[in-house]
Amino acid sequence: MRLFSKNALTLFGLIVYMGLISCEKDSQLLQPDNGQGSGNGTTRPTQTTENGPIIMVPGGTIQVTPVLVKYGHWQLSYNAKGDLEKLQSSVDPTLYREYSRASNGTGMTIMDYNGGKMKGKTLILFDAKGRCKESYVTSYGIANGQVTTSTKRFNYYYNANNQLEKIMDQDNNQRYDLFTYTNTGNLWQVKRYNNGHKFTMTYWVDAVGIPAVTDKNHLNALWFEHADQVDEFLPIYGKFRKQLVYKFENIDVVNGTSVDQVYYSYKLNNAGYITEKEDTRYTAGQTVKDTYVFGYK
């Protein structure tokens, strides 16, 4: 899963799309009538805007949550139920990720491909609330002409606020991550312990002169080092934040050095959804800027 770490799995979130409509967890679910007047009190969308489709209902209209279909050169596609099904590069179509859900609702599988070959597979098991409770991450390689595999296993723990608070390596109790949150519900720090070594990853949503901006996309905006354990587009890891991240820093605590520092800026549409994101990263004495354009339907 690391081949997606730096480019595809940055700041953004999966927004569920069901047919012509979608809803967030706490939103009203609408059923379209396919233009035939089914008698269920709704009609089909009459207009599509940059902020998503508009649905006519008795007494007015409802703006439907837009569905993410483009992130930079990555294209997102969904099945008929509105579940994310595929993430694929438009630059190199042989680079893609597939999502497959168990019919009994107990878990799912993520498969990564590059050049027509499977490079990684992750099996995820759900708890009673539909959250990831275990993952089995397998990487594929070639050695002496033979396919090799390596699997890591992780457990996930949540607090009473439905926030991820710990990821533990099942095979190494000296490797784990601890998550802490602000009293406003935003992820503040992730402390990563790895066999005596420690990193502290801190996320800022505001600063003096920089007001917090509401995160309407609700994705798992974690640093790429967590890409094996947390898929950025799946809403199965609890709630990480309510505002967009504007700054990130990764500190090597043992050596007392800043490994990475990133500043984020955004352009939003009228409904408050991201249309463009710019990352400015300072690492190893270099400055790298990346701009990502978002598309919706």
pLDDT digits (tens, 9 = 90+) for 224-257: 788 889 999 999 999 999 999 999 999 999 999 9
Q: Residue 274 and residue 88: Cα distance in Å, rounded?
A: 20
Quick one: CA dihedral 113, 293, 163, 223, positive or negative? positive
* CATH (domain of 125): 2.40.160.190
- Interval 23-28 mean pLDDT: 37
Is position 288 within any domain? yes
Q: Is residue 86 part of a domain?
A: yes
Would you say residue 39 lies in a domain?
no
Could you tell me if residue 49 is inside a domain?
no
Residue 284 pLDDT class (50, 70, 90 cuts): confident
In a domain, 29, yes or no: no
Strands 117-126, 132-143: parallel, antiparallel or unpaired by DSSP?
A: antiparallel
Say what the pLDDT of residue 224 is.
79
Q: Is the pLDDT of residue 97 over 80?
A: yes
Per-residue DSSP letter, 241: -
Model confidence at 174: pLDDT above 90: yes
Give the integer Cα–Cα distance in Å for 246 and 262: 8
Each residue of 185-198: pLDDT tens digit? 999 999 999 998 99
**Dihedral angle computed from the Cα positions of residues 272, 4, 283 and 259, in that order, rounded to the nearest 10 degrees:** 100
pLDDT at 138: 97
> What value does the mean pLDDT of the chain take?
83
Question: Residue 124: which residues within 8 A CB-CB, separation 6 or more?
Answer: 107, 108, 109, 110, 132, 134, 135, 236
Structural domain count of the chain: 1
Q: Is residue 265 part of a domain?
A: yes
- Average pLDDT of the segment spanning 154-180: 96
Domain around 227 = 2-17+67-296
What is the model's pLDDT at position 188? 96
Residue 126 lies in a domain: yes
135 backbone dihedrals φ, ψ, rounded to 5°: -140, 145
Residue 49 has a pLDDT of 54
- Is residue 181, in this structure, part of any structural domain at all? yes
- Of the candidates 229, 224, 238, 250, the one whose C-alpha atom is nearest the C-alpha of residue 169 is 229
